[in-house]
Chains A and B, each alone.
Chain A
């Protein structure tokens, strides 16, 4: 089947890029005779005069090459008249035409904003100078140093317009990435993440194994990815053999963590004062003192080790790496152990005409996922601090009247559980270069992800007691397969001042997910844990804690795409592309769509009239437009399907039978969201590239927005239908400025500043007549139990993320809230009407900024990364729930006993009012890393050695009273800082990098 598909792909590629057929015409240098070679040797040094190991030395237009050794020396056979190219990341490439000389002394110049830097774009690479859309690149040397949980943290604060948040301290959590604001209501807001061109996740490869991360920000760049491009595309390039010398590299680090911030709850002494003041009844003093957060937490110590080897010749080479991590979480037993192995093998044959690459990534992750730590956190902070963990008999102390009030240690200690995730990624790609400048590439990849979960509660668990059962255990497994075939062809031709690059391709992707789970309870012993489910008696007892389930689904994505780039005199650039793509998730009437893009660039500094402005090294104006799409998250949404209901049965003639019911309101017109994005950008570099950067202005408009639209009941069965009927707009500006503030041989200071502003507007939610709403809004977000109120309103003409509720302005003498009525006049909350609710703020930051400073003095370097968000609000759930002295059953914040508005203590019951909405503006000194590179020129076996110390999440300057002002930005209820959480941590790391 694969074979057939590959063939079909070739055919379709041919159909789509007829120009490339002509490309077969030029003469083929298949059997070229080699002239006699001479040996050339030399030393490569940097501007400071230090020898440079690992510099690629390549004979231009051939595959012959070598790299410099530890002392910067090289030696290579060259024919007279050939040109040697010296290159390495971070340095400007140099070309030296070989004449009669046999020794060369090369000095490489540092390069910060080189126009020749290679940028990874969709299905190919481009020189930075020729890029006409908004593409950001962060190379390895600019990654955040020290501890990084995944690729997202490497570029935190470094790409304007990309907000990377890490709102949880869970060692298993990943970073959350949001690009240019929210442009969809329903579908995923995560960008498409490609690992060497293959879909993956932000944590698929170890941060240590990443060479570069490129972000396709605007529509003209992302349109080549069609329905997956709306949220931007993050292209992760793993380390390749490429231009580095054979070496063995070890990177290791160990870190300790402390909780970044604690909420000030009453301790035992404070609680007793509360009893004296009559806040709590006297019999609430249980006679002991317990710091419950201490009881459930620990000082976590984590380690990461990465070993990689690379070697081989210019024709056959490899990179292999092994990454082991053992991360502990703040809460007891919380952990994440991971092993990632990767092997990347390249072979070049037929004089460079055929390049083959095989890449295998294996990832094995084990973690203890049994308890719900967010809920345990809640239980720890609300528990009576005068209570003890155990009673005199050694049993856990519990309160029989407590509702959602459980001993927090018990669900950690009395469970057993393990989740194992195995991911295998195989990919092969073959590049055939029949003639110069024509490449035909076939990529085949399969990603298999399996997970196995086991969970057991023993007989001492509280649920065993409350549910009157002897233990509970479950197992579950999930399996997914993601098969991808891509066939692409590209052709480049230069003549006179013209250069044309053509790309065409076909992509076929099929994703199948399936799984199975079973649970049982009432076990004769705790010893089986989850390893002998059949021993549970629940099945015999027809207890509803016995459970079985399975699922399977599939979706396919097929795309045809083509792109043409044209450059005239390195001055004018044009790019056009289109993707014709279909997804099986769409309705019968709308399976296929077209996603075109175009962009232009103008290198102003190459114009004659700019000749005198020699301080300008680069000035490029570019503009683009592109259309991208978004698919619904779940397959089958368009279909008319039904399921048997096993839990709400029909009593038919004395038998409980399963009724068959429609799953949803069907919509055969379901289709992709379409986002049209305009982007205008300016790239600049002045004063010998001392200052460089870019400014981008964009407007993105999402039409046919997917949403579960409310539909009237009747005539519909369900109150909502998944449909395309909304429109959203995002406008913004992004600025990036890189500055070499000071640079001498011994001392340098570099600065990188990013700033972005985004304005989001919901233009419409009912452009389709069938989904017309009488009121231009719907509600989102929820406070949870027991306040039980909606927190957000999504309203036309307003940005996503508006808090909506009563605006508290004062408190009366009795301690009840006074709110601002619809007429602007104060009124008691008891008289509040629905129409008194107001917009109380917005949870999405308007401004996001980052400032990364790099200092180097001789071999000592210091990196300081800072970032912040401004112009947004946070609903502080912890204050909303625990800053209320009327709730005596749970522990409360010290501030609950303060006077509200300086007047009196609160007597209103728990309520959602604007008093708990705070400004979230903050500036984080996020990462400070101090490193030292040892001189290894005198050590025989060691090529490089570096030690560093790093602090992550070091300090935050904010007026926000909660744990962390960095709250989630995604979804329809951003800015909700929920009371149940895994607190964020401060991490101190010591690391060692060694290259042999």
Chain B
């Protein structure tokens, strides 16, 4: 009996003694070491750059990321093609579908465009909500900061309105309901309103403090581009509004045309006085500019002693190359062609030829390569060249096109001539273009390209209204991710045959890409764009 009591006693003692400790051994708080918890992050004003930085960094993948906007705008157009090469580039037929306008709602390029642009929109909304809640302590310049973020959001929407058109308009980060879809016109109106409201608060500076960010001029350029395409987006042309915005930049902005075309695309192009808005890249800190990796043949690394191994994919459509005036120096400044020799030894490594037999089968070195963006010797897999979105020449050409379409061809011709001058330094007479010329057709030999390079089903470009203006845009802005929108504005996109592309003629223009299937699946409020239902 004694033992029994002792046992009971000790049990009770134990139970009492340690019940006190129970709290600590049912504790399941996470101990976090290598992440910053929102609850433990108390930003000061010094943290603001890091916080707003996240609103801009998605731009890199938006514009030139793998299967990003660059490919989205060039692959469906008539300047660049990605043919099957000995080392691949069939990739499930995606480049061929892009070329033939047979993309599906699961096609990577438009899916990426949606995701990355909305990443930008959502990030802006998140930061705006943090500023409103006071969790980011902005004391000075709060109004300007909010205006800048809203302008950045408008820029992302200006991409979305062009590519997907009917997209959700989200402005409140806290609203986690599945958003409703807006029409392309509503999105257009939203962008216009946001930009007009916020432009007065934006910085007018053009220096390090605004480089790569939304200042007043970048916002106006966004607006000008929106107006230029208003007829496509909304059915109502806005030529004068476009001209007005261009004039604001041309007359009040701090930008000048660079003497050399190339200055806009060199490794240190951040010093170009022509760039209004560029996405900054760096071979170490922001490495996504791999335009050269996609275009150069693998063996090209022995030309420039590259540290990366290029993938050898896209190249120029020969029909486009044929449109250049032989004296136009932009031809050499835009395309790598002919013999490529090692930069140190002069040894012949390879020769790029103009001919591209077919999108289905093309050799390693066939087709001229994108050489517009400087690939310095020893370059890595990411270039330090910043990606120009708006440059002064673009503003001049936007205004010229708007003037031309408003019945002022001679005024337009002056602007175009000014842009052309630096490309014809050896033959200045050729730089001049007249209003009458701008109203002529295009010199592009539209038609089906046979594998031997001959053209079948010849259409030509003579019937294209203002076709010469389209050619001018092509020569100046080839490989700048603008061609798809140009072809749409000039009525070529859904009408002409080029390379291995034939128009569908099925009553569907496909000016908009399909809403990504994955988003339709996730958000029942979304409806597929009309051409894809």
Q: What are the residues of chain B within 8 A of A717 when measuring CB–CB? A: 119, 122-123, 126
- Interface residues in A866-895 (C-beta closer than 8 Å to B): 888-889
Are A558 and B28 touching (Cβ within 8 A)?
yes
A242: interface (CB < 8 Å): no
Contact (A591, B28) CB under 8 Å given A663-B35, A714-B118, A789-B92: yes
Total count of chain A residues near the partner, CB < 8 A: 101
B170: interface (CB < 8 Å): yes
Question: B147-180 interface mask toward A, CB cutoff 8 Å, 1 = contact, 0 = none?
Answer: 0000000000000000000001010010111110
Are A636 and B522 touching (Cβ within 8 A)?
no
A24: interface (CB < 8 Å): yes
Are A554 and B89 touching (Cβ within 8 A)?
no
A36: interface (CB < 8 Å): no
Question: A610-649 interface mask toward B, CB cutoff 8 Å, 1 = contact, 0 = none?
Answer: 0000000000000000000000000110011111110111
CB distance from B334 to the nearest CB of A (A): 24
B259: interface (CB < 8 Å): no
Are A775 and B57 touching (Cβ within 8 A)?
no
Are A647 and B34 touching (Cβ within 8 A)?
no
Which of A506, A512, A635, A661 has most chain B Cβ within 10 Å? A661
Are B51 and A909 touching (Cβ within 8 A)?
no
Q: What are the residues of chain B within 8 A of A466 when measuring CB–CB? A: 301, 307-309
Q: What are the residues of chain B within 8 A of A712 when measuring CB–CB? A: 178-179, 519, 522-523, 526
CB distance from A410 to the nearest CB of B (A): 15
A528: interface (CB < 8 Å): no
Q: What are the residues of chain B within 8 A of A333 when measuring CB–CB? A: none
A424: interface (CB < 8 Å): no
Are A773 and B521 touching (Cβ within 8 A)?
yes
Q: What are the residues of chain A within 8 A of B286 when measuring CB–CB? A: 647-649, 651, 656
Q: What are the residues of chain B within 8 A of A592 when measuring CB–CB? A: 28
Q: What are the residues of chain B within 8 A of A8 when measuring CB–CB? A: 18-19, 21-22, 24-25
A608: interface (CB < 8 Å): no
Are A653 and B209 touching (Cβ within 8 A)?
yes
Q: What are the residues of chain B within 8 A of A81 when measuring CB–CB? A: none
Q: Nearest CB to that of A908 among chain B residues?
A: B90
A508: interface (CB < 8 Å): yes
B429: interface (CB < 8 Å): no
Are B523 and A554 touching (Cβ within 8 A)?
no
Are B35 and A650 touching (Cβ within 8 A)?
no
- Interface residues in A667-721 (C-beta closer than 8 Å to B): 710-719
B250: interface (CB < 8 Å): no
- Interface residues in B110-154 (C-beta closer than 8 Å to A): 114-115, 118-119, 121-123, 125-126
Give the docked Cα–Cα distance between A834 and B15 (Å). 67
Identify the stretch in A9-17, A169-177, A189-197, A951-959 within 8 Å (CB) of chain B at 4 or more residues: A9-17
Contact (A582, B26) CB under 8 Å given A466-B301, A715-B176: yes
CB distance from A398 to the nearest CB of B (A): 11
Are A657 and B53 touching (Cβ within 8 A)?
yes
Are B28 and A774 touching (Cβ within 8 A)?
no
CB distance from B432 to the nearest CB of A (A): 39
Are A650 and B57 touching (Cβ within 8 A)?
yes
A75: interface (CB < 8 Å): no
Are A641 and B305 touching (Cβ within 8 A)?
no
Give the docked Cα–Cα distance between A555 and B27 (Å). 11
A552: interface (CB < 8 Å): yes
A403: interface (CB < 8 Å): yes
Are A909 and B57 touching (Cβ within 8 A)?
no
Task: Sort chain B's interface into a size bin.
Answer: 35 or more
Which of B25, B52, B90, B517 has most chain A Cβ within 10 Å? B25
Give the docked Cα–Cα distance between A637 and B360 (Å). 45
Give the docked Cα–Cα distance between A661 and B121 (Å). 14
Q: What are the residues of chain A within 8 A of B38 when measuring CB–CB? A: 639-642
Are B91 and A787 touching (Cβ within 8 A)?
yes
Cβ 8 A contact of A10, one of B18, B89, B287 = B18
Cβ 8 A contact of B3, one of A30, A400, A586 = A30
Q: Nearest CB to that of A510 among chain B residues?
A: B31
Question: A272-310 interface mask toward B, CB cutoff 8 Å, 1 = contact, 0 = none?
Answer: 000000000000000000000000000000000000000
- Interface residues in A564-588 (C-beta closer than 8 Å to B): 582-586
Are A24 and B7 touching (Cβ within 8 A)?
yes
Q: Nearest CB to that of B123 among chain A residues?
A: A717
A497: interface (CB < 8 Å): no
Q: What are the residues of chain B within 8 A of A645 when measuring CB–CB? A: 54, 57
A28: interface (CB < 8 Å): yes
Give the docked Cα–Cα distance between A787 and B90 (Å). 7
B212: interface (CB < 8 Å): yes
Q: What are the residues of chain A within 8 A of B175 when measuring CB–CB? A: 715
Contact (A788, B91) CB under 8 Å given A10-B14, A11-B19, A659-B57: yes
Q: Nearest CB to that of B386 among chain A residues?
A: A651
Are B170 and A468 touching (Cβ within 8 A)?
no
Question: B39-60 interface mask toward A, CB cutoff 8 Å, 1 = contact, 0 = none?
Answer: 1010000010111111011001
The 6 closest A-B pairs by CB, nearest first: A650-B53, A659-B53, A786-B88, A7-B18, A403-B87, A552-B33
Task: List 23 interface pairs A-B (beta carbons < 8 Å), by A numbering.
Answer: A10-B18, A21-B8, A403-B309, A403-B312, A404-B87, A466-B307, A468-B306, A506-B25, A544-B284, A544-B287, A636-B32, A641-B37, A647-B287, A658-B53, A659-B53, A660-B54, A661-B57, A710-B522, A717-B123, A787-B91, A787-B92, A788-B92, A911-B92
Q: A714-B121, A786-B89 are in contact. List 17 more A-B contacts (CB 8 A).
A: A4-B24, A401-B298, A403-B298, A403-B312, A434-B7, A550-B34, A553-B34, A554-B30, A556-B28, A650-B52, A653-B208, A653-B209, A658-B53, A660-B47, A662-B126, A773-B521, A773-B522
Binding site for A on B (CB under 8 A): 3-4, 7-8, 11, 14-15, 17-19, 21-22, 24-39, 41, 47, 49-54, 56-57, 60, 84, 86-92, 94, 104-106, 114-115, 118-119, 121-123, 125-126, 168, 170, 173, 175-179, 208-209, 211-212, 280, 282-288, 297-299, 301-302, 305-309, 311-312, 349, 360, 364, 378, 380, 517-524, 526
